Structure 1
Amino acid sequence: MSDTHTSHDQPLRGAIFWIALAFSSFQLWTAAFSPLSSQVVRAVHVGFVLLMVFVLRPGFRANGQGQPALGWVLGLTGFAFSFYHWIFEADLTLRAGDLTSADWVIGTVTIVLVFEAARRMMGWGLPLICGIFLAYGIFGQYLPGVMAHRGFGLDQIVSTLGFGTEGIYGTPTYVSSSYIFLFILFGAFLEQAGMIKLFNDFAMGTVGHTRGGPAKVAVISSGLMGTINGSGVANVVTTGQFTIPLMKRFGYSPAFAGGVEATSSMGGQIMPPVMGAVAFIMSETINVPYIEICKAALIPAILYFITAFWMVHLEAGRKGLLGLSKEECPNPWTAVRERWYLLLPLVGLVGLLFSGYTPLFSGTVGLGLTVILIFGAAVISGVKGLPLRGLFWVLLGFACAGFFQFGVGTFFVLAALLVALSYIRRTGADARRLALQALVDGARHALPVAIACALVGVIIGVINLTGVAAELGGHIIAIGEKSLFLALLLTMVTCLVLGMGIPTIPNYIITSSLAAPVLLQLGVPLIVSHMFVFYFGIMADLTPPVALAAFAAAPIARESGLKISLQAVRVAIAGFIVPFMAVYTPALMLQGGDWTDTGYVVFKALVAIAMWGAGAIGFLVGPLNWVERVVAIVAASFLVAALPMTDEIGLAAVAAFIVWHVWRTRQLRGAGASPGMR
């Protein structure tokens, strides 16, 4: 679920391996038993993150190398300071806002360490933006006009940001320390179990032999990976290792191949049931059940992947690219039949979420269902000597889980997982080692998300302290009262500009704090307004000059990240219309209206995507000239706004354009002209 990913870094060894293992164990312990207050869990969570980041990246240079002793000093300082919140929890609560000398030191140093850890993990973009907000909180009273605030002392700033639940230990860190970490761990276990191979084989078998099949494999496999791993960059560096070279081999340019993978992988953040970290933060922020977020995201997510699929299909037609031979493609149903048990945890997770259970409980039981996965694998692969005590632990765990709903039952389920793994060997490797590796990978993959969540707490704290959001919102509302479209356009541009320097999570938090309440006042439903911001936060990771997913694909495609990001925008261009359509017709996100309304707006969206894609690629049944491309895009644009007669004009224009284009293409073929397709 992270916006950056390190799954292909060198394996962790030595002390950092055991630190990562302790981090995951701490998170599982607190999830199973809830022995500590939320404030303490958040503080220790951030402490572990600081320790791991500074040990993994001890130097000040861009690559984080060098000065290991300094890294240990900084990391251990941040980790030790986190226990201050545990040891003096009662005292801190009693004297909230009244800082002692020790509070000053702990709070100030922790804030500085969070800034520096974020810089080492994510670059300068996010720390600079958060630093601007921090400077505004300290010096904003000296600004002219309406932007000035009444002024706050440094003690108020440090108290707000370094203690309590409005700064670095705010809602994003709460979500990171509970839901997000658990789902990252869930994905890590499934990856270790072989889920990536299942998804790749299924995608290869279903579409690999069709026109432009290798690119379609990338779209489908990345979409499936998104159901268990809500990280765009993580998907790029996992599925991309297989799909990008395959696309290049069959004629796609390196930039286009990387762009397809980046676009498809970013869609994982809006693909239920395991969406990106933003979905959990959104659920907590607007106080809406997570399953409602999933429902609202489902149709836009499907349309997003249809967009990517359609674009690669058109590009294949334009360049005359064929698919793989049938012999090269595995049988998809054989792959499912042989490894069906890998789907059990995912099915269990979806079932629990739709039954109304919390993401925390559902994710933990999903981890427990991995036990069934392992036992199923053992039976299918003919492993002998499976100990009965392992099965006993499993049955006892699920019995306790059913009785206690959480806590003790969860502990037994997780214990059963490790007991079972310790006895079963898969793919010639020690399964216990694979389990430990999954725990370590989960901790490492959580670092970019966790440090971003901690640092954006600075923005939230300053916004809440100064009330600047209301002031900015007032200006946007004044614009939006005259034109909702213009307000939406400004919000989109804000998301895209912020996304040039920061990942999706802080992008969503910043923009939703400023713009989503404004859209709500302009009549946009609550979930739709936040999903609008979320969606363009994802698109921002594809836009140049800084596109994380594109730059992650660059070394695999052996092409510059800038060229890949330009192609990614081209592939995703039709997807830019979906959020606008959802605002004008909320039924697209299942917010209001009946199934007839939803069906109609989905039909409109599909037609608009088809035309917009044809205009962007320059191909439909045959090649399109520039006039035809403009006509296709204009016709699609009429379908976006739900205004009187726009639908009728748009559909009539699309129908006329298709009839004319088909007739023209046949005329060219009849005259012997090459239509650019074979």
Structure 2
Amino acid sequence: MSNQPLLARTEPTDWPRILFFIALAFSVFQIATAGFHLVSSQVLRAMHVGFALLLTFLIFPLRGDGKPNPVLAWVLGALAMAGAAYQWIFEGDLIQRSGTLTPADMVIGVVTIVLVFEAARRVMGWGLPIICLLFLLYAMFGEYIPGAMGHRPFGFDQIVNQLSFGTEGLYGTPTYVSATYIFLFVLFGAFLEQSGMIQLFTDFAMGLFGHRRGGPAKVAVASSAFMGTISGSGVANVVTTGQFTIPLMKRFGYGSAFAGGVEAASSMGSQLMPPVMGAVAFIMAETINVAYVEIVKAAIIPAALYFAAIYWMVQLEANRSDLRGLPKDQCPNPWAAIRLRWYLLIPLAVLVGLLMTGRTPMLAGTIGLALTVLVILGSAIALNLKGMPLRVAFWIALGLIAALALKLGNGPIFIVLAVLAVACFMLKTHGRETLRLSVLALANGARQALPVAVACILVGVIIGVVSLTGIASTFAGFVIDVGRNSLLLSLVLTMVTCLVLGMGIPSIPNYIITSSIAAPALLALGVPLLVSHMFVFYFGILADLTPPVALACFAAAPIARESGLKISFWAIRIVLAGFVLPFMAVYTPALMLQGGTVIGTVYVIFKAVVAIGLWGIAGIGYWRVASPLWERLLMAAAGALLVTALPITDELGFAVAVAAVAIHLVRARRAHAATAAPVA
């Protein structure tokens, strides 16, 4: 059963009025501080934590799917805001006495830690809080562990100071990124959702792929890839696009488990798709201090190969089961969908352009959000203008004003937004409805940001403990010792660690945990910095598809009306290539555009495509005709040889691949000839 209460699944219009205004205030505070830098970084983080905890206690109940106890919710929320106010009011004093806590500091610190744990439990269940609690207990009692795992004694006040004050614990880098980049991008997605971007993606995907063989499943793959450009949550993608794609796949002959597996695999793959990448890209850029554009460059080829692999699996399953697409006259015209909502692509294009030209995610996110509101409000005004020439003139004028505002900075563009908002309010038809949707998007965006915000705050416990005790160095030393004899064994050990630590945990805290524990070991073994972090990030994503937790698969289960475990097994088969691509990137970093020549990069992409094709046939057991087990094993072996970057493995892999494909095609020709032969 979902951890989200009924209130969290409703529209903001159904919320109590006070809750709606608190969510609205949260979004307005975040936008104002992003545009005008009104407070210090520490105060921004503290207020972000306070607002996030307050909203969490007001929305999410103590247990089950009921309603929160209003008295308890307000008491806990007030304590959370009091802690934020304490950080703001006594900011100077806390800096001056850093490391020396007063009794009041101790109370505020302990209460904040407890509130963060409880908020996380309400939002995402017990998984992440238990892992963080184990780290906290390790900090408190690890001195009694013998051997290399032990650490020197720490006083309780040292632990509280590490976690609740400064920027090493709850208010660390993840919280800062959540309070700046991530919140803006969540709002960006919320505005696009309210304006009809999901419908645009779905109609476009349906028009392109719906009428093809296996069309409904290909629509799921394409729509999830498109959603990945704006979404920060793979599980959210499952429950958003899955409501449409899973029943459609089942209606056209796909099995329930396969349909759920395709949607879960595609939606989690959207976390790998630039520019947003589940918001992990922004945290990665801050963590390893590289330009955001470098992360996008490293992610683009593996993401494309990931979705190509899923598309190929869908095609093979459609061939095996002879599944046709929808009648073409039942599919929308993709270009008509673009013509209807073309203006929604402007903010997305500008956002990608700014990020790719080296602008900071903070600036790009602010401008992207502002432009989204700008084009939505502008479209409402344009609809009230008579005649095409007048509308075109309006759009040109609006574009010039927006360009001037962008040139002058964030402040002027918000002034333009205010003027447009007043103009919309004065309109009687489309304007006021558009303004209402914009306000709803602000409130809904604040609610959508809560799971990410609370997770980022809580993983500060792990970061603080790792920094305090040095446990990451101990783990890295163990992996390095193994890697001296076998890099492959170290990679497998790191993969298993990421899959275990990532069970039931959203992608952002998952990456933060695994990058702080496992990535340093790979770096010490000679794996390039960016590749080592992408390696743990990929397997953190895939942890949501692997049993026993398989968060994305269990999110798809009630929609598909199938066991989450069965969906998980299908999802693993569908993304088989996804488990191999990170290994391939370690042995051949050119796959992530890390060194190498253009010819070398093209060659490794070609190898990956061939390997994906072979694994797909081995996984489904069908291409032109059904493949016997020995042929499937032969193709799987050929794909594995192409991944292994050892002497003559490429030559052996291509030779085995040619032999396996030739055998299959000969068998297929004979089978078709036998079927077509007239009966005597």
1:102 aligns with 104
Note if 1:26 corresponds to 2:12: no
1:476 aligns with 479
Note if 1:603 corresponds to 2:606: yes
Q: Following TM superposition, by how much is the alpha carbon of 1:554 offset from its aligned partner in structure 2, in angstroms?
A: 1.8
Q: 1:137 to 1:448 in 2, by over 3 A?
A: same
Amino acid across the alignment from 2:561:
R
| Rounded Cα–Cα distance in structure 2 between residues aligned with 1:615 and 1:420 | 60
| Rounded Cα–Cα distance in structure 1 between residues aligned with 2:620 and 2:296 | 31
2:655 aligns with 652
Amino acid across the alignment from 1:509:
I
**Does structure 2 conserve the Cα–Cα contact (< 8 Å) formed by 1:393 and 1:416?**
no
**Does structure 1 conserve the Cα–Cα contact (< 8 Å) formed by 2:205 and 2:219?**
yes
Stretch deviating more after TM superposition (226-235 or 389-398):
389-398
| Rounded Cα–Cα distance in structure 1 between residues aligned with 2:329 and 2:426 | 37
**Does structure 2 conserve the Cα–Cα contact (< 8 Å) formed by 1:7 and 1:237?**
no
1:399 aligns with 404
**Does structure 2 conserve the Cα–Cα contact (< 8 Å) formed by 1:421 and 1:435?**
no
| Rounded Cα–Cα distance in structure 2 between residues aligned with 1:281 and 1:316 | 39
| Rounded Cα–Cα distance in structure 1 between residues aligned with 2:587 and 2:306 | 18
1:437 aligns with 440
2:636 aligns with 633
| Rounded Cα–Cα distance in structure 1 between residues aligned with 2:495 and 2:302 | 16
Amino acid across the alignment from 2:598:
W
**Does structure 2 conserve the Cα–Cα contact (< 8 Å) formed by 1:424 and 1:430?**
no
Q: 1:102 to 1:203 in 2, by over 3 A?
A: same
Amino acid across the alignment from 2:404:
A
Q: Following TM superposition, by how much is the alpha carbon of 1:38 offset from its aligned partner in structure 2, in angstroms?
A: 0.6
- Give 1:320's match in structure 2, choosing from 314, 319, 322: 322
Note if 1:17 corresponds to 2:27: no
| Rounded Cα–Cα distance in structure 2 between residues aligned with 1:354 and 1:188 | 23
Note if 1:135 corresponds to 2:137: yes
Where does 1:336-485 land on structure 2 (aligned, <5 Å)? Answer: 336-374=338-376, 377-378=379-380, 381=383, 383=385, 398-403=403-408, 405-406=409-410, 408-416=411-419, 418-419=421-422, 421-422=424-425, 430-485=433-488
- Per-residue CA deviations over 1:294-314 (Å, capped at 9, x if unaligned) read 111111111111111111111
| Rounded Cα–Cα distance in structure 2 between residues aligned with 1:530 and 1:4 | 31
Stretch deviating more after TM superposition (370-379 or 634-643):
370-379
Q: Following TM superposition, by how much is the alpha carbon of 1:10 offset from its aligned partner in structure 2, in angstroms?
A: 4.8
TM-score, normalising length from structure 2? Answer: 0.94
Amino acid across the alignment from 2:406:
A
**Residue 672 of structure 1 aligns to a residue in which SS?**
helix
**Does structure 2 conserve the Cα–Cα contact (< 8 Å) formed by 1:233 and 1:549?**
yes
1:165 aligns with 167
- Per-residue CA deviations over 1:394-445 (Å, capped at 9, x if unaligned) read 8666424312x34x23432543564455456888981111001110111011
1:495 aligns with 498
Stretch deviating more after TM superposition (408-417 or 97-106):
408-417
1:330 aligns with 332
| Rounded Cα–Cα distance in structure 2 between residues aligned with 1:543 and 1:551 | 11
RMSD (Å), alpha carbons: 2.4
Where does 1:294-313 land on structure 2 (aligned, <5 Å)? Answer: 294-313=296-315
Q: 1:240 to 1:294 in 2, by over 3 A?
A: same
Q: Following TM superposition, by how much is the alpha carbon of 1:559 offset from its aligned partner in structure 2, in angstroms?
A: 1.9
**Residue 430 of structure 1 aligns to a residue in which SS?**
helix
Stretch deviating more after TM superposition (450-459 or 72-81):
72-81
**Does structure 2 conserve the Cα–Cα contact (< 8 Å) formed by 1:233 and 1:548?**
yes
1:242 aligns with 244
**Residue 31 of structure 1 aligns to a residue in which SS?**
helix
1:486 aligns with 489
Amino acid across the alignment from 1:401:
L
| Rounded Cα–Cα distance in structure 2 between residues aligned with 1:159 and 1:389 | 56
**Does structure 1 conserve the Cα–Cα contact (< 8 Å) formed by 2:57 and 2:73?**
yes
- Per-residue CA deviations over 1:469-492 (Å, capped at 9, x if unaligned) read 111110100111111111111111
Percent same amino acid among aligned pairs?
A: 62
Amino acid across the alignment from 1:657:
A
2:564 aligns with 561
Q: 1:333 to 1:253 in 2, by over 3 A?
A: same
| Rounded Cα–Cα distance in structure 1 between residues aligned with 2:368 and 2:248 | 33
- Per-residue CA deviations over 1:167-187 (Å, capped at 9, x if unaligned) read 000000000000000001011
- Per-residue CA deviations over 1:557-587 (Å, capped at 9, x if unaligned) read 2222222222211211122111111111111
**Residue 612 of structure 2 aligns to a residue in which SS?**
helix
- Per-residue CA deviations over 1:430-475 (Å, capped at 9, x if unaligned) read 1111001110111011100010100000000000001111111101
Q: 1:356 to 1:4 in 2, by over 3 A?
A: farther
- Per-residue CA deviations over 1:341-393 (Å, capped at 9, x if unaligned) read 11100011111112221111111111222245226634764556999999999
| Rounded Cα–Cα distance in structure 2 between residues aligned with 1:320 and 1:88 | 69
**Does structure 1 conserve the Cα–Cα contact (< 8 Å) formed by 2:191 and 2:373?**
no
Q: 1:396 to 1:547 in 2, by over 3 A?
A: same
Amino acid across the alignment from 2:237:
N
| Rounded Cα–Cα distance in structure 1 between residues aligned with 2:427 and 2:565 | 46
**Does structure 2 conserve the Cα–Cα contact (< 8 Å) formed by 1:396 and 1:412?**
no
Q: Following TM superposition, by how much is the alpha carbon of 1:48 offset from its aligned partner in structure 2, in angstroms?
A: 0.5
| Rounded Cα–Cα distance in structure 1 between residues aligned with 2:402 and 2:383 | 24
Amino acid across the alignment from 2:278:
G
- Per-residue CA deviations over 1:310-337 (Å, capped at 9, x if unaligned) read 1111111111111111111111122212
**Does structure 1 conserve the Cα–Cα contact (< 8 Å) formed by 2:26 and 2:51?**
yes
Amino acid across the alignment from 1:320:
D
Q: 1:294 to 1:64 in 2, by over 3 A?
A: farther
| Rounded Cα–Cα distance in structure 2 between residues aligned with 1:489 and 1:516 | 13
1:624 aligns with 627
**Residue 459 of structure 2 aligns to a residue in which SS?**
helix
Stretch deviating more after TM superposition (392-401 or 93-102):
392-401
1:252 aligns with 254
| Rounded Cα–Cα distance in structure 1 between residues aligned with 2:659 and 2:423 | 63
1:89 aligns with 91
2:229 aligns with 227
**Residue 575 of structure 2 aligns to a residue in which SS?**
helix
Q: 1:27 to 1:223 in 2, by over 3 A?
A: same
**Does structure 1 conserve the Cα–Cα contact (< 8 Å) formed by 2:205 and 2:334?**
yes
Unaligned runs of 5+ in 1: none
**Does structure 1 conserve the Cα–Cα contact (< 8 Å) formed by 2:214 and 2:325?**
yes
Amino acid across the alignment from 1:277:
A
2:72 aligns with 70
| Rounded Cα–Cα distance in structure 1 between residues aligned with 2:352 and 2:423 | 24
Amino acid across the alignment from 2:581:
V
| Rounded Cα–Cα distance in structure 2 between residues aligned with 1:428 and 1:417 | 10
Q: 1:389 to 1:327 in 2, by over 3 A?
A: closer
Q: 1:642 to 1:389 in 2, by over 3 A?
A: closer
- Per-residue CA deviations over 1:494-551 (Å, capped at 9, x if unaligned) read 1111222322222211111111111111111111100011111111111112122212
Amino acid across the alignment from 2:172:
G
Unaligned runs of 5+ in 2: none
1:272 aligns with 274
Stretch deviating more after TM superposition (619-628 or 215-224):
619-628
- Per-residue CA deviations over 1:40-59 (Å, capped at 9, x if unaligned) read 10011010110011111232
Stretch deviating more after TM superposition (550-559 or 358-367):
550-559
- Give 2:618's match in structure 1, choosing from 606, 615, 619: 615
Q: 1:426 to 1:135 in 2, by over 3 A?
A: farther
